[in-house]
Chains A and B, each alone.
Chain A
């Protein structure tokens, strides 16, 4: 399990590639959070991050971020 602290979030994030759960991948992509695309971070806090996606604001909770990165981490292990 990756350490959350290692998920240092800067001015942008790039969602992990194609190894996400399929339904989650569809959900994220349909909201504009396309894996591999550079996404600006508006604000970050302990509860989550606020992203700018095509002139819209999307809040992604810390747990969701952890889930996204954990899935990739586990599958790639």
Chain B
């Protein structure tokens, strides 16, 4: 028998770890509120039931405040599951009971999981599980997902609930509220949306709370009822909170303080120390990752690629294949990474000898940062400066993820609450945050001229981001609600989880990024083979050699940059002998700013829509023209 089960709960309660324990599949595990924006699915077979388990994004309430929470509730509303497993943190039960009361109204079988009982026990917190079960009328299971404790008991409970198909009764709210909700239910009886599969009671509650999605249903209500909706909603919220508090007081056996705020937590809210601390942490992380990546990117190719791979492949194919198009496509006509442009030489080098080792290091570091709780904390001190350019503290997570790959970063903007914040956070990633693979190439190409030029590039990107962000913030309509954010507890990252997460992200890159890299190398290869690169260069020469003061061969980079920015910067190496340091700085700046890579462009179209994506491209073109012209003029002055 097939059954669909949704794991639901607040962010940072260990849902994803529990999901991994239940299904044995890989899922990203995160400390940042709402990171599990994508819905992970796993399967498990238990006592004749084929369970399809869905890991919903973290949500505090059924009244969604961002897209991630909206995705979570859609899993319950539109894709009716056979049961819900609410995962709650045993150390802070009272906060979770509010959501429990909401879920109890849905009319779906429910299990409440008290996760992290290990932490609760260590802190001396004890909950009367049986009493809680009795009061709620919902099975309650204790787990410590990190240790794999309670998983068997949970699966047994799932089977029992699926067999009984029993949904809990709605919570016992004050009679006055129940009476008003019942009236509301009556009025809704003939207007239920066909695709919606929740109880009338839950729908009535959402309408009373002013849920935007169902506001059209409120419009047709009798005037008297409609006028009292807001006060009903207000009473409902407070009654739920009071009931949650009452239940909590009845089931808590021993209540102790489990929270130990660190000095870092205390300092984060101080504007100067917080910002210095967060900036130092960010810089230390980025520079150490880059330093390791730089070493790896330098040493791996020289040892493996030049020493073993290239000679074997080149000699082998030289012996097998006659000169012609196929051989040209596969290995080019000359050795060397940037002059060969063959799929098996340049293509393989970029993917396996350079980008993958770099991304492995970055994603591993990112996993450690997320699981330890550092990453979400950066949002606190960065909130005020980011607001000046139209974003907010919560945008730190997508922006840092975007420093790995903007495809991942733009997807992560879903956790932001407004379209304006999403737009600006995506825009920052396009112009101000080169992806890690591109940063490695920047260090390799521009670093040859001295680290001062790399520093200059970062300063230029920072300046353009600040100026463009401030202008956009002033021009774009919309209001970003002030920040209120839960900070996850400090945790020692688990190697298993970090590796799992790294593997999932690398797999995503292999499937989405690698085909684009190979395609990019192939296109440039064919442009050279057919001689089209010359014609393209000629048509754009007036701009390149005019205001930008660049050699016309830079066009190859601009063409490939549409597909992959890192490869585009790497290809600049082929024209390096023709350029001065300032010209190379201009070229790298132009390649970084002029257009997004095709992967992030597709994601932006999906996430932001055509109009906003075109607006971003238009702004990028203006910024590129202005910055390129200024740098071009400077390079002309200093070369003469």
Contacts and interface: CB of A to CB of B under 8 A. Distances in A.
A2 interface: no
Given A18-B234, A27-B60, A64 B483 contact: yes
A48 to B, nearest CB: 5
Contacts of B483: 48, 59-61, 63-64
Contacts, number: 145
Nearest to A50: B269
- Residue among A45, A58, A59 with the highest chain B CB neighbour number at 10 A: A59
A54 B210 contact: no
A47 B270 contact: yes
A30 B240 CA distance: 9
A59 B261 contact: no
B269 A59 contact: yes
A30 B94 contact: no
A52 B26 CA distance: 33
Given A34-B241, A54-B95, A48 B380 contact: yes
Contacts of B487: 50, 56-59
Interface residues of B, number: 49
Residues of B contacting A: mostly: helix
Interface string A61-75: 111101100000000
Contacts of B99: 30
Given A43-B265, A47-B271, A30 B259 contact: no
Q: How large is the interface on A (under 10, 10 to 19, 20 to 34, 35 or more residues)?
A: 35 or more
Nearest to A49: B269
Interface string A13-39: 000001000110111111111110000
A3 interface: no
A54 B89 CA distance: 10
A45 B94 contact: no
Contacts of A28: 484
B237 A57 contact: no
B63 A29 contact: no
B133 interface: no
B238 interface: yes
A63 to B, nearest CB: 3
B531 interface: no
B34 interface: no
A15 to B, nearest CB: 11
Contacts of B380: 47-48, 50, 59
Shortest Cβ-Cβ A-B pairs, 5 listed: A63-B482, A32-B95, A45-B269, A64-B482, A30-B61
Given A26-B209, A53-B92, 6 more contacts: A30-B60, A42-B266, A43-B269, A45-B270, A50-B266, A67-B482
